[in-house]
């Protein structure tokens, strides 16, 4: 599976600034736009650092922690996510005949009953280490751009590109930030994830001669064509959040859920795009986005 990734590099600066923000909370989730029918990948490549014994041990250890560590409701949800991911990995090893289901079950039962996994004694501290492994596997970062006047959370450090596009016979200068998370380096993901935040200014004469709907239509078509997405199955939805015009396009692309959110804030056009399967990641990405009005602008990202 491949995404149309931009192969670019970026320099980053620490920015201290005052800001007044326009908070935008996406309605992606209340509209139930994340598909539950994402096609599962067929890649059977062993994930980095994992083998059938480790996967079996991890599943048994999680079972022990959920039974013996007085885990809170939120902790149990984290353990369940990790257990499901480890089970998918183990299924790949079983399908490739690297371990049998019976052998894997014996390992899991031994760990759960004896309280030892991979040579470590299971206790509250070790269970907490397992939980933190899930939470911090791909560290999220707050990405701030004064040039593009926004903040957003993205997993890992995004790459930046400054580019120019032609839409409706007009040239638009874009600032793009993107992150690609490869499933081969993150056992919590069965398929890769792709994140993109884009920004451009809309000239006043362009705004005066085009309605918001016409702008969304033109930019939406350009984005879908440029990214090489197949036709998305779900219909477009138009929403207004905090009186900010926005449009959402969603569906399945590359065998996963795809959500595109476009905003118009004054004369600024923003694009948030994600391809993935983890609902929690969709929520964190879209809900963290804020369009900003910076004062005393300095050099940004």
Residues 275 and 145 in one domain: yes
- Whether 300 maps to a domain, the answer reads no
pLDDT band at 218 (very low <50, low <70, confident <90, very high): very high
Helix crossing, 101-114 with 52-68: angle to 10°?
A: 40
Strand partners, 69: none
Are residues 193 and 126 part of one domain?
no
Tokens standing for residue 21: 């923000």
Q: Distance between CA 286 and CA 270 in Å, rounded?
A: 12
- Tokens representing 129 are 């280490």
Taking residues 207-230, report their average pLDDT: 88
User: Does one domain contain both 60 and 75?
Assistant: yes
Instruction: Answer yes or no: is 11 within a domain.
Output: no
Q: Are residues 192 and 119 in the same domain?
A: no
Contact in structure between 98 and 90 (CB atoms under 8 Å): no
Give the tens place of pLDDT for each residue, 112-153. 999 998 888 999 999 888 877 765 666 788 999 988 999 999
pLDDT at 294: 59
For residues 31 and 69, membership in a common domain is answered with no
Instruction: Copy the structure tokens of residue 222.
Output: 């350009």
33/69 same-domain check: no
**Which of the pair, 187 or 155, is modelled with greater confidence?**
155
pLDDT band at 209 (very low <50, low <70, confident <90, very high): very high
On whether the CB atoms of residues 56 and 104 are closer than 8 A, the answer is yes
CATH number at residue 191: 3.40.1000
- Angle among Cα 153, 156, 162 to the nearest 5 degrees reads 80
Per-residue tokens: 42: 């067929």
What is the pLDDT averaged over residues 290-298? 65
pLDDT of 36 over the 60 cut: no
| Mean per-residue pLDDT, 189-206 | 91
Task: Specify whether 131 is located in the same domain as 156.
Answer: no
Q: Over 80: is that where the pLDDT of 1 sits? A: no
Same-domain pairing of 120 and 143: no
Q: How far apart are CA 247 and CA 249, in angstroms?
A: 7
Q: Which of 72, 69, 184, 86 is nearest to 133 (CA)?
A: 86
For residue 29, what pLDDT band results from cuts at 50, 70 and 90?
very low
Q: Is residue 129 located within the same domain as residue 239?
A: no
Average pLDDT over the chain, rounded to an integer: 77
Are 67 and 96 in a shared domain?
yes
Q: Rounded to two decimals, what is the model's pTM?
A: 0.62
Instruction: Quote the percentage of the chain above a pLDDT of 70.
Output: 73
Is there a single domain that holds both residue 243 and residue 128? Answer: no
Residue 194 structural domain: 18-39+139-295
- pLDDT band for position 280 (50/70/90)? confident
In a domain, 44, yes or no: no
Give the C-alpha separation, 71 to 88, whole Å: 23
For residue 288, pLDDT beyond 80: yes
Per-residue confidence (pLDDT) for residue 21, from 0 to 100: 41
The H or E element containing residue 278 is none
């Amino acid at each position: 599976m491949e995404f149309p990734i931009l192969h670019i590099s970026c320099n980053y600066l620490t920015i201290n600034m005052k800001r007044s923000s326009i908070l935008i909370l996406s309605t992606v989730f209340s509209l139930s736009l994340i598909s539950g029918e994402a096609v599962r990948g067929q890649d059977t490549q062993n994930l980095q650092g994992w083998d059938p014994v480790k996967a079996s041990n991890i599943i048994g250890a999680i079972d022990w922690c959920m039974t013996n560590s007085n885990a809170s409701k939120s902790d149990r949800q984290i353990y369940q996510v990790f257990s499901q991911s480890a089970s998918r990995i183990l299924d790949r090893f079983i399908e490739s005949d690297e371990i049998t289901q019976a052998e894997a079950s014996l390992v899991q039962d031994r760990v759960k009953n004896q309280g030892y996994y991979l040579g470590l004694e299971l206790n509250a501290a070790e269970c907490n280490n397992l939980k933190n492994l899930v939470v911090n596997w791909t560290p999220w970062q707050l990405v701030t751009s004064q040039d593009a006047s926004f903040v957003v959370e993205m997993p890992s450090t995004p790459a930046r590109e400054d580019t120019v596009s032609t839409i409706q016979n007009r040239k638009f200068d874009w600032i793009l930030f993107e992150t690609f998370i490869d499933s081969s380096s993150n056992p919590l993901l069965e398929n890769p994830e792709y994140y993109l935040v884009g920004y451009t200014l809309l000239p006043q004469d362009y705004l005066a001669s085009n309605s918001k709907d016409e702008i969304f239509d033109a930019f939406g078509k350009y984005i879908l064509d440029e990214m090489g997405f197949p036709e998305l199955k779900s219909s477009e939805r138009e929403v207004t959040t905090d009186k900010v015009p926005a449009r959402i396009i969603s569906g399945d692309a590359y065998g996963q859920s795809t959500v595109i959110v476009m905003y118009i804030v004054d004369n600024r056009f923003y694009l948030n795009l994600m391809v993935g399967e983890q609902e929690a990641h969709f929520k964190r990405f879209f809900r963290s986005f804020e369009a900003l009005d910076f004062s005393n602008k300095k050099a940004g990202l």
